[in-house]
């Protein structure tokens, strides 16, 4: 509970109407899209500009009140659950596109802008902002930056990190700094921009961002390849890369996923195939035509029994939109869906898919797999019931094995969803003790009072269970 006088001070900083602490508000900001993580904050505060953010942060730093910055709460790592209470900081009043600079090909935005609105604004002037997480019509750019989100186009275009040129940040001390800028080159000191991309709200508050835009590809083609067995699909992925073809999108869906997605989207997806690859190529027309042809041949050579190219843009859009709904649609099958984010080098996709299947069989769990196969980022998703404690214990063991396998194959425990509270126990697998120590010293230097999103990425206590 916050003292009454703190609430009053917050109100005087950001306006009374922008501080909420009714039980309904506290509950409505107690969760994100991660199952099993929920905790009540003490107040919900919506500042109107950077100065107000700074004032709130300063107060919290003095009073040692935790702050959890929150976008749309769609993260999948328990990243915005206020585990230590404190203040949830919203950006609903800081959601403007400030500038599109067509000479420098940049866009400057406030953190609360929806990712999709960044896309639309860029497209209106013939430019392109590639990062497109599945949640993009609702996720905010501040959330994308803080999770370093990927998406369906990661293979060819990279992830959010590759499009953030500069940031305005309110440090945990309340000071305001600007990093980077509209610059193609900048080596003046440490690359703080990169440090804050993916910092999960643990090092400060992003209050403005300058994003890089690129010219819009001239055209795009979308296709589906259907397989009778999962591993053949996975092998196609590797074959494509070794044949030096880099599609814009290379998504993998297994049968169970296709079925539920079709159930929701009703666009005639092939529910009889054991695995489906959704492939998209963009660029100059002659290159796209050539690649599509090559891709089709490769798919067939590697065992696809059918390859179809979307006839119209509407049809193509329907396919990618349906893919974006995959995770939520899976929850139709069981009450709880627990999804992971293990990522391996592209070349190891086939062994990883196989390992996931074996682990699922071993623990007798229903694990569906879909994901950004092209960049080695799979989303094994366990369909379970949070009330079934025994099964949940098995789920945890299974994921433990999946993580270990991923790291063994040269991969990581999370490719794009972040560590948050959920993967905190596994961070050492990837980062190692010394790695965690290095991260912790950065955290301590910047946020000595541990007010920024505490209990995320690592705990206060040094002990980490191995």
Ligand X SMILES: Cc1cc2nc3c(=O)[nH]c(=O)nc-3n(C[C@H](O)[C@H](O)[C@H](O)COP(=O)(O)OP(=O)(O)OC[C@H]3O[C@@H](n4cnc5c(N)ncnc54)[C@H](O)[C@@H]3O)c2cc1C
CA–CA separation, 243 and 246 (whole Å): 9
The angle subtended at Cα 64 by Cα 61 and Cα 66, nearest 5°, is 90
**What is residue 161's DSSP assignment?**
G
With H, G, I as helix, E, B as strand and everything else as coil, classify residue 357: helix
Mention every residue, 6+ apart, whose C-beta is less than 8 A from residue 27: 40
The binder of 156, among other proteins, ligand X, none, by C-beta within 5 to 8 A per type, is: none
**Binding test (CB under 6 A) with ligand X, winner from 31, 91, 227, 458:** 91
The binder of 25, among ligand X, other proteins, none, by C-beta within 5 to 8 A per type, is: other proteins
What is the end-to-end Cα distance of the chain in Å, rounded?
34
The angle subtended at Cα 151 by Cα 69 and Cα 292, nearest 5°, is 170
Measured from the CB atom, the residue of 45 and 237 that comes closer to other proteins is 45
Torsion of CA 334, 150, 238, 432, to 10 degrees: -90
Binding mask 58-87 for other proteins (x = CB under 8 A): --------------xxx-------------
Binding mask 271-310 for other proteins (x = CB under 8 A): ----------------------------------------
Q: Which stretch binds other proteins (CB under 8 A): 206-214, 242-250, 329-337, 401-409?
A: 329-337
**What is residue 266's DSSP assignment?**
-
- The backbone torsions φ and ψ at residue 335, rounded to the nearest 5 degrees and listed phi first, read -60, -35
Helix (H) or strand (E) holding 53: helix 50-63
114 sits near other proteins (criterion: CB under 8 A) = yes
Binding mask 404-423 for ligand X (x = CB under 6 A): ------------xx------
Q: Which stretch binds other proteins (CB under 8 A): 53-61, 89-97, 98-106, 347-355?
A: 89-97
Quick one: which of 334, 328, 366, 352 has its CA closest to 415?
352
Are 400 and 359 within 8 A, CB to CB? no
Q: How far is the CB of 203 from ligand X (least distance, A)?
A: 8
CA–CA separation, 146 and 141 (whole Å): 8
76 sits near ligand X (criterion: CB under 6 A) = yes
**Positions that interact with ligand X (CB under 6 A):** 32-33, 68-76, 79-80, 91, 111, 133-135, 139-140, 142-144, 146-147, 149-151, 200-201, 205-206, 327-328, 416-417, 453
Residue numbers at the binding site for other proteins (CB under 8 A): 20, 22-33, 35, 38, 40, 72-74, 90, 92-93, 114, 135, 137-138, 263-264, 325, 327-329, 331-332, 335-337, 385-386
């Amino acid at each position: 509970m916050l003292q009454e006088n703190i609430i009053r001070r917050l109100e005087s900083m950001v306006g009374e109407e922008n501080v909420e602490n009714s039980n309904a508000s506290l509950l409505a900001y107690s969760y994100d899209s991660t199952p099993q993580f929920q905790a009540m904050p003490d107040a919900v505060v919506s500042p109107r500009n950077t100065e107000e953010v700074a004032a709130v942060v300063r107060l919290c730093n003095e009073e040692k009140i935790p702050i959890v910055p929150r976008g749309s709460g769609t993260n999948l790592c328990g990243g915005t659950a206020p585990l230590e209470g404190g203040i949830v900081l919203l950006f609903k009043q800081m959601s403007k596109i400030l500038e599109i600079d067509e000479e420098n090909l940049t866009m400057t935005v406030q953190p609360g802008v929806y990712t999709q609105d960044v896309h639309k604004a860029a497209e209106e002037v013939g430019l392109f902002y590639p990062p497109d997480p599945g949640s993009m019509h609702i996720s905010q750019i501040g959330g994308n930056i803080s999770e370093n989100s990927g998406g369906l186009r990661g293979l060819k275009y990279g992830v959010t990190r590759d499009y953030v040129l500069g940031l305005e940040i309110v440090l945990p001390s309340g000071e305001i700094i600007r990093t980077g800028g509209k610059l193609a080159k900048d080596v003046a000191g440490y690359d703080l921009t990169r440090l804050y991309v993916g910092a999960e709200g643990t090092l400060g508050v992003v209050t403005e961002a300058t994003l890089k835009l690129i010219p819009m590809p001239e055209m795009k083609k979308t296709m589906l390849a259907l397989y009778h067995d999962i591993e053949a699909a996975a092998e196609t992925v590797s074959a494509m890369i070794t044949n030096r073809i880099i599609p814009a999108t290379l998504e993998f869906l297994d049968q169970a996923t296709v079925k539920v997605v079709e159930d929701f989207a009703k666009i005639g997806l092939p529910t009889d195939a054991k695995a489906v690859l959704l492939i998209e190529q963009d660029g100059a027309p002659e290159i796209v035509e050539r690649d599509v042809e090559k891709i089709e041949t490769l798919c067939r050579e590697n065992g696809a029994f059918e390859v179809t190219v979307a006839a119209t843009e509407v049809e193509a859009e329907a396919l990618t939109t349906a893919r974006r709904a995959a995770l939520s649609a899976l929850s139709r099958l069981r009450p709880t869906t627990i999804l992971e984010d293990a990522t391996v080098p592209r070349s190891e996709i086939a062994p990883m898919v196989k390992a996931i299947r074996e682990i699922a069989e071993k623990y007798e769990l229903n694990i569906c797999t879909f994901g950004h196969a092209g960049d080695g980022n799979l989303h094994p998703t366990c369909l379970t019931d949070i009330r079934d404690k025994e099964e949940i214990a098995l789920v945890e063991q299974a994921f433990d094995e999946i993580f270990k396998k991923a790291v063994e194959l040269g991969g990581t425990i999370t490719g794009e969803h972040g560590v948050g509270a959920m993967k905190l126990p596994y961070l050492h697998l990837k980062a190692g003790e010394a790695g965690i120590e290095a991260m912790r010293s950065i955290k301590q230097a910047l946020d000595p009072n541990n007010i920024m999103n505490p209990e995320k990425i690592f705990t206060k206590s040094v002990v980490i269970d191995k």
